[in-house]
Chain A
Amino acid sequence: MNNNARHAETRGDRSRIVIAGCGRTGAAIAEALGLQRIRIRVIDRDPEAFDRLPAWMVESGQISAVLGDVTLESNLRRAVDQDTVTFIAMTSSDAVNIIAAQIAYHTLMIPSVICRIDDPVKRDLYERLELTALSHTNTLTELVTNLIR
């Protein structure tokens, strides 16, 4: 699959990326993508989680905060619209990310879905089931092994 071509479509003012989970990782990704002038919506069930977002980006509307439970389709619809091209599930729970990503892909029909799954066994399984799955565990293992080499 040509990921570069797919991701190129996400640039521009109207396009939008939705991030589920505003923990340290979710907030950092929102900031990094916001700096590339991509419009971001972040959804989390804890209003205090949004304190992690850079205030100036929230004020300028580059990043919008949406309160909701990411395991529910009805709540995800508050953040997702027809301009959403990429959905990123980044909470600290594998199971929450897996259900949110599958709602996004199979029900909301978002073309590109990226899912954080820290358990490598589940990561491989859901990669087979059409999600783009990334694992802290695998990434850190690679980084550390490269440093030791």
Chain B
Amino acid sequence: MYVIIVGAGKVGAEMARWLIEADQEITVIDRSAGRCAAIEEELGSVAVTGDATESAVLRKAGAARADVLIATGSVDEQNLVICQMAKHLFEVGRVMSVVHISEHAALFDRLGIDVTVDTTSLQVTQLQHGVRGLIGEEVRDL
């Protein structure tokens, strides 16, 4: 399987490591030459420096033969545009995206993004779980 990962931040880099570990072919796209160099230092020549909202950059990364694209950028509307270009210009089979503003999750679903991960709501749920445990212990101590 060929996977394009947009964003070489913590999430993008971790996905890249995990997919290489699983013997999949990947390319990581990031605007920052520094982050791309760090990825290549660790994982070999798998990075393309550029703005993934530009179709030329997606093409250079091999979007035309990609099975999956994962958008992990920090700006929701850019992730949306990247996924829609991948799907409709390059016919990438499955497009996935993180969203940071919870309100955008339902919109991404409606607009045909195959998998949407709401990072804010994931973190809040985990934190609530942690706090709920503490409240429970307090209640037991009383």
Q: How far is the CA of A96 from the CA of B101 in the complex (A)?
A: 14
Q: Contacts A71-B76, A121-B55 given: A95-B81 contact, CB under 8 Å?
A: yes
Q: Mark B77-91, 1 if CB is under 8 A from A, else 0.
A: 110110011001100
Q: Contacts A95-B78, A98-B80 given: A103-B53 contact, CB under 8 Å?
A: no
Chain A neighbourhood of B55, CB < 8 A: 119, 121-122
Is B84 a contact of A71 with CB atoms below 8 Å? no
Is A125 a contact of B77 with CB atoms below 8 Å? no
Q: How far is the CA of A122 from the CA of B80 in the complex (A)?
A: 12
Is A72 a contact of B103 with CB atoms below 8 Å? yes
Chain A interfacial residues counted at CB < 8 A: 20
Is A107 a contact of B107 with CB atoms below 8 Å? yes
Is B81 a contact of A94 with CB atoms below 8 Å? yes
Please name the residue on chain A nearest to B103 by beta carbon. A72
Q: Mark A67-103, 1 if CB is under 8 A from B, else 0.
A: 0000111100000000000000000011110110011
Q: Contacts A98-B81, A99-B76, A102-B111 given: A125-B103 contact, CB under 8 Å?
A: no
Residues B66-122 near A (CB distance < 8 A): 75-78, 80-81, 84-85, 88-89, 101, 103-104, 107, 110-111
Is A128 a contact of B88 with CB atoms below 8 Å? yes
Chain B interfacial residues counted at CB < 8 A: 19
Is A71 a contact of B81 with CB atoms below 8 Å? no
Q: Which 8 pairs of residues, A with B, have the shortest CB-CB distance?
A: A99-B77, A95-B77, A121-B55, A95-B81, A95-B78, A71-B77, A98-B81, A96-B77
| Known pairs A93-B77, A99-B77 / 17 extra A-B pairs, C-beta < 8 Å | A71-B76, A72-B103, A73-B103, A74-B103, A94-B81, A95-B75, A95-B77, A95-B78, A95-B81, A99-B81, A103-B107, A107-B107, A107-B110, A121-B55, A122-B85, A125-B88, A125-B89
**14 A-B contacts, Cβ less than 8 Å apart?**
A71-B76, A71-B77, A72-B101, A74-B103, A95-B75, A98-B77, A99-B76, A99-B80, A99-B81, A102-B111, A103-B107, A122-B55, A129-B84, A129-B88
Chain A residues with a Cβ under 8 A of chain B: 71-74, 93-96, 98-99, 102-103, 106-107, 119, 121-122, 125, 128-129
Chain B residues with a Cβ under 8 A of chain A: 53-55, 75-78, 80-81, 84-85, 88-89, 101, 103-104, 107, 110-111
